[in-house]
Structure 1
Amino acid sequence: MMIHKLQPFTDVLDWLHHFWERSSTQRSIALFLLWFYLLVLAGVELKRLGLYPLWLPQPPDSHFYAIHMAFTLILAMEVISLIFVIPSSLSQSMGKQFEILTLILLRNAFKELAALQEPVHIGFDNIQSVVEIGVSAAGALCVFLCLGLYRRIARRQRFIQSPDMRMRYVMSKKLLALSLFVIFFSFGVYDLTMHLHTGKE
């Protein structure tokens, strides 16, 4: 049967999911994010001092750029977590989408903040950027509150009663998640390569 032929692919997703959710993997990711943030922060400071190598992609002069880049990486990690949670319940995947939307809005706020000159002064020349930062931060807060409300009212429901149909449904979601993981990883490698060559996001 076709369902048995596709079993090895779903086993790959299960292995990747188990590896991703391991406590050792999560600790390694947290340490990587910390060192990445400190490295970018050091790069910004070196550029402000005129010591940054010219052959590397040039970061902005704002220290907020390090926070922006850290949020970008966290957002990428959350997208991977969303891919792995797709085969789970609908409520979990919806909750993860709320989290990602919150991170997107926060990332946009710090991206606008990184474009401002330090020390930051609020004036007529940058009032639009300040308003955009406030709107993004307020939107992130609203989405976060909605996430809490959603988790309170979410209830797991099983609409598929047949064990065979339930297995086919879960397997199809795992195959979809595996395909999304491969696509996302490919785009990530491509974007990283382009950033290293051009310095553009």
Structure 2
Amino acid sequence: MSDAFLPPPPEPEPQPPRQPAFAQPQSPWAPPAAPPRKQRRTGLIVTLSLVGGLVVIGATVALGYALMQKASESIALAEERAVSRYGDTVGPDGLEGWEELEDFEEPEADEPAAEKDATITKCTRDSLINWMSAEIKVVNGSGSPASYVVYVTFVDRDGDVVSEGLAVTEDEVAPGATAKIKAQGLGEVPAGTKCRIDRVEREAMSG
């Protein structure tokens, strides 16, 4: 028996892992796999959209109601002035009845024309509800304290009347004094609508 050791048998070479027969080999030029998408919060977006829409609708309704209340107060005050001046013969009935006051004629007097006392300082179309309003400055050009009713028409680019409004001084205006009032139109009007003073009534106040 020989004392020499026999060399160990050679180790088997490692074999590359086999892919299943149905698997497609991955191309070295293929783009990297996209990361998993985050779940969209669709429900939250829809909820916020609905809440935002309700807020806008609520603000529109509230603004329209406030403007109608203001116009109604002006009409009621104009009616009260007309009744005290001409007697209880006519008066506006609701928001559309104030046109009846236009039938009154300004009494003749040796005073400057009342139309010269009123000037439109700002003509605005509301960006939310598209209603018109006119800010008016009144300077009493007569020689006695007076109250004013200013009738305003809102005309489109063709000159057609699309809405009307009136403004009334709440307190008497002293000779040479200034008052600021606002005429509110009702209803939507097109872009480019302008404000125009149609008629001014000035009533001398005794006292």
Q: TM-score range by the shorter chain?
A: under 0.3
Q: Which one has a larger percent strand, Structure 1 or Structure 2? A: 2
Q: Name the structure, 1 or 2, with higher relative contact order (CA <8 Å, separation 6+).
A: 1
TM-score (norm 2): 0.23
Q: Which one has a larger percent helix, Structure 1 or Structure 2? A: 1
TM-score (norm 1): 0.23
